Amino acid sequence: MRALGLIAVLGLTLTGCVKPPPAAPFPRAASVAVGAVYDGEAAGVADAPERLDIAVEGALAARGLSVRPVGDAALLTAIAGSPSSEVRLARLAASTDAELLVLVELKPNFYAQMAGRYRWSVPLSVQVSWRDRPEGALRQTHEVPATLLYYHEREEAAVGEVAPLVARHVEAAVEAFLAREGG
Amino acid sequence: MAWWGLALGLWLGAPSAEAGSAEVGGYFRVAARPDFQGGNGRLGYWNLYGRLMNEGAYGMVDLRYMALEPATKAAPWTSVHARVEGGAIGGADPSNGSFANLRLSQMYVRAGNVLLPGVVWHVGTLDWYMGDLGLYDFRPANIFFESVGLSGRVDTRRVEAVFGVGDAGFFMRPGAYNTILTPGGTLRLRLGKLELGGGGQAYIEPKVVGKRTAPHTTPGVDYEDLVRGEVVENFLEENPGFENDFTDPVAASATSWKAFGYLGFGGFGPVVWNNLYVSAQKVHPGGSVTENVGGRSYTIYTTEYTDERTVLTVGNQLQLRVVPERVDAVWAFYYGNHRDADNLIAPSDHNRWYASTVLRTQAYLTPTVHFLAEGVVAREVSTTGNAFRNHADSIFRNTGGTPDTRGLEYGDANTRDTIQGKTGFVLNPVGPGVFSRPSLRVLYGAQWSSQNNAFGNDFVETVDQQNAFGNVERHVHHLVSLETEVWF
């Protein structure tokens, strides 16, 4: 019995040395620019927190895309402050020479207190398009939950909390877009 | 749910808004905890030893229907919420997941930018709290938990204020409703990395002459007789033949209150956040008890005998990032002091104090595989005599070393000391974080308690010589847990 326990403990501990297999690359390599914004109940429209940028850009880079920077903070703020998704996408296109554009828009809103935590609902829109052909954009929408520990953690923290989920959805949208476009 | 949207939309008359969508959130925890020592799957009695491995299965599903989504930030909006929850999950609790153990615990409508801009109105069940002590699952800064009514909330960058009034009669007097008004409110100030808050609530149950379920007192009751359940017996001894003339109750009013303060700070150095709470409460008086004598049932009304109960609690939880992305820790303590000035003779939950401290650390072997260790030390002291059995034969070790069949104490000690340790591996698919969920855990826990068999069990406790099962003396309890917990 003790030997079994020891094996289980060692086995789980050694998982620290196990590296996950690399993600399969997208069917086509391309350069990509990512713009991510959120529209908070109280915070207003803002550029997404760094945690989300890192998650999304990291996921795309791991699948073989070359992530190009969009520009400085002022430019990101200008994109975020655009009146509509179409204008945001156009401004994103104007700010980069990347072939592919990914626009992530989130609208976190407080849902309810739940078992000691603060649940937020984060509607998510992902648009993927070629920079020179924005009319053919693919748009997918989702709703992802964020459960925060503290009330002072508001929209920005909710967006950061869902970063891994958003990255997965962005991956899926890019994959679907490239498949639709014939790889 | 469509008729809700239509009705509320018409009522609010908001042409600039659009109908929204339904969404489901919730919480579940479920565990397999085989207990070879005869327990029921919990390491100790209650959350004072940390919630981990001391709580059972629980499920909650919360529905939100955005009946009216705001077209702009200033436009009216409204949402309908309903919550079903309870400690019942098939195969994981004694009821085997029976729906009888679930309840529609919350049902409310929230509406914003109606009547007053920036105010969110909340009608229905009003439960609201100002954070919690997650390691204990305690929420000292909680208001309107029992209330159904109306509240308003203003929430700006600097100030959050909640004010409201409700009725807690159905919750606090189930099956014997009487109106209990509950006005109250909270105020929280956000000053950068510091938060200050406070709040309170009153419970007002007016006198209603002629209503059986309203507060009453049966005058002239001796408290010891009440504790022993011998009020009627002694009355009839003193008044033979007065079976039809037991003392009439006198209508009374009942009031109580709670107040709390909150201090939160963090966001510097290794301190992620610290929550400190102080709360004081005057417990609402009880209703009535019944005694059966001579085949008849008599009701004794207890408002005057239960109206001097108070509770003071102090709780703190500190979340630390010890080694970023490698090790996190959470440390908490909790102190409670319950006093009942009516009862000076018998041990009860209303005459005790307790203190506990918990330290949980979580090391991240990989982003998804973590190692958890938690230690707990707790002391509980009864202030009105012995309340704990330290030994299987403790009936023979009563106060003074002699059996006392008329004694009001229980067991042979007024103190229960508890030490718990829990450790194991945690799989967190979404990454590091001591409170990251969902969490899949394989844990081992051990408890030492000064009390004999200090965990939920079905042992035969009598020391009668006819006890065919025998008695067990055990102070160390082990448990393995395969469990999961998720908010969604």
Spatial separation of the C-alpha atoms in residues B17 and B10, rounded to whole Å: 11
Name which of B27, B81, B371 is nearest A115 (Cβ-Cβ). Answer: B27
Name which of A42, A111, A116 is nearest B64 (Cβ-Cβ). Answer: A111
pLDDT, tens digit, 9 for 90 and up, residues B116-171: 988 999 999 999 999 999 999 999 999 999 999 999 999 988 999 999 999 999 99
Chain A positions in Cβ-Cβ contact with residue B365 (cut-off 8 Å): 12-13, 15-16
Spatial separation of the C-alpha atoms in residues B176 and B163, rounded to whole Å: 27
Chain B positions in Cβ-Cβ contact with residue A115 (cut-off 8 Å): 27, 60, 487
Chain B positions in Cβ-Cβ contact with residue A165 (cut-off 8 Å): 430
Spatial separation of the C-alpha atoms in residues A96 and A35, rounded to whole Å: 11
Chain A positions in Cβ-Cβ contact with residue B23 (cut-off 8 Å): 111, 121, 143
Spatial separation of the C-alpha atoms in residues A142 and B232, rounded to whole Å: 66
Q: Which of B28, B62, B80, B485 should we substitute to test contact with A (largest number of A Cβ atoms within 10 Å)?
A: B62
| Chain B CB within 8 Å of residue A115 CB | yes
Spatial separation of the C-alpha atoms in residues A144 and B435, rounded to whole Å: 18
Spatial separation of the C-alpha atoms in residues B437 and B484, rounded to whole Å: 9
Positive or negative, the CA dihedral B154, B159, B160, B166 is negative
What local confidence, expressed as pLDDT, does residue B13 receive? 41
Closest CA relative to residue B319, chosen from B356, B278, B261, B360 = B360
Distance from CA of A147 to the nearest CA of B (A): 7
Q: B392: which strand partners?
A: none
What local confidence, expressed as pLDDT, does residue A43 receive? 61
Distance from CA of A13 to the nearest CA of B (A): 7
What local confidence, expressed as pLDDT, does residue B398 receive? 56
B440 near B23, Cβ under 8 Å?
Answer: no
Spatial separation of the C-alpha atoms in residues B128 and A112, rounded to whole Å: 10
Chain B residue with CA closest to A147: the answer is: B487
Distance from CA of A101 to the nearest CA of B (A): 26
Distance of CA A70 to the CA centre of its chain: 15
Spatial separation of the C-alpha atoms in residues B32 and B424, rounded to whole Å: 15
Name which of A15, A18, A112 is nearest B62 (Cβ-Cβ). Answer: A112
Spatial separation of the C-alpha atoms in residues A82 and B225, rounded to whole Å: 76
Q: Which of A17, A45, A113 should we substitute to test contact with B (largest number of B Cβ atoms within 10 Å)?
A: A113
Distance from CA of B430 to the nearest CA of A (A): 7
Chain A positions in Cβ-Cβ contact with residue B120 (cut-off 8 Å): none
What local confidence, expressed as pLDDT, does residue B7 receive? 42
Chain B residue with CA closest to A143: the answer is: B23
The answer, yes or no, to whether the previous bond of B438 is cis (omega within 30 of 0) is yes
Contact A145 B25 (CB under 8 A): yes
What local confidence, expressed as pLDDT, does residue B65 receive? 96
Chain B residue with CA closest to A111: the answer is: B64
Which CA distances in Å does B303 have to B217, B250, B252?
5, 10, 7
**Between chain A and chain B, how many beta carbons pairs sit less than 8 Å apart?**
79
Residue type, B272: V
Assign 3-class secondary structure to chain A: CHHHHHHHHHHHHHHHHCCCCCCCCCCCCCEEEEEEEEEECCCEEEECCHHHHHHHHHHHHHCCCEEECCCCHHHHHHHHCCCCHHHHHHHHHHCCCCCEEEEEEECCEEEEEECCEEEEEEEEEEEEEECCEEEEEEEEEEEEEEEECCCCCCHHHHHHHCHHHHHHHHHHHHHHHHHHCCC
Chain A positions in Cβ-Cβ contact with residue B325 (cut-off 8 Å): none
Positions of chain B with pLDDT under 70: 1-20, 395-405
B172 near B144, Cβ under 8 Å?
Answer: no
Assign 3-class secondary structure to chain B: CHHHHHHHHHHHCCCCCECCCEEEEEEEEEEECCCCCCECCCCCCCHHHCCCCCCCCEEEEEEEEEEEECCCCCCCEEEEEEEEEECCCCCCCCCCCCHHHEEEEEEEEEEECCCCCCEEEEEEECCEECCCECCCCECCCEECCCCEEEEEEEECCCEEEEEEEEECHHHHCCCCCCCCEEEEEEEEEEECCEEEEEEEEEEEECCCCCCCCCCEECCCCCHHHHHHCCHHHHHHHHCCCCCCCCCCCEECCEEEEEEEEEEEECCECCEEEEEEEEEEEECCCCCEEEEEECCEEEEEEEHHHCCCEEEEEEEEEEEEEEECCCEEEEEEEEEEEEEECCCCCCCCCCCEEEEEEEEEEEEECCCCEEEEEEEEEEEEEECCCCCECCCCCHHHHCHHHCCCCCCCCCCCECEEEEEEEEEEEEECCCCCCCCCCCEEEEEEEEEEECCCCCCCECCCCCCCCCCCCCCCCCCEEEEEEEEEEEEC
Distance from CA of A64 to the nearest CA of B (A): 22
Residue B464 has a CB neighbour count (10 Å cut-off) of: 9
What local confidence, expressed as pLDDT, does residue B16 receive? 42
Distance from CA of A121 to the nearest CA of B (A): 9
Chain B residue with CA closest to A117: the answer is: B131
Chain A residue with CA closest to B426: the answer is: A12
Closest CA relative to residue A112, chosen from B107, B421, B75, B395 = B107
Name which of B160, B430, B487 is nearest A164 (Cβ-Cβ). Answer: B430
Contact B369 A15 (CB under 8 A): yes
Distance from CA of A112 to the nearest CA of B (A): 9
Structure tokens at A121: 């609902």
Q: B181: which strand partners?
A: B167, B204
Chain B positions in Cβ-Cβ contact with residue A13 (cut-off 8 Å): 365, 371
Chain B residue with CA closest to A162: the answer is: B430
Structure tokens at B34: 């085989």
| Chain B CB within 8 Å of residue A72 CB | no
Chain B positions in Cβ-Cβ contact with residue A119 (cut-off 8 Å): 25, 62, 487
Chain A positions in Cβ-Cβ contact with residue B127 (cut-off 8 Å): 113
Contact A114 B62 (CB under 8 A): yes
Tens-level pLDDT at each residue, chain A (183 residues): 565 566 555 665 555 556 667 778 888 888 999 999 998 776 677 888 889 999 999 999 999 999 987 766 777 777 777 778 888 888 888 888 999 999 999 999 999 999 999 999 999 999 999 999 888 899 999 999 999 999 888 899 999 999 999 999 999 999 999 999 886
Closest CA relative to residue B428, chosen from B362, B368, B366 = B368
Distance from CA of B134 to the nearest CA of A (A): 7
Say which residue the tokens 């958003």 belong to.
A166
Chain B positions in Cβ-Cβ contact with residue A144 (cut-off 8 Å): none
Spatial separation of the C-alpha atoms in residues B87 and B60, rounded to whole Å: 9
Spatial separation of the C-alpha atoms in residues B295 and B250, rounded to whole Å: 25
Strand pairing report for A31-40 and A100-106 = parallel
Residue B324 has a CB neighbour count (10 Å cut-off) of: 9
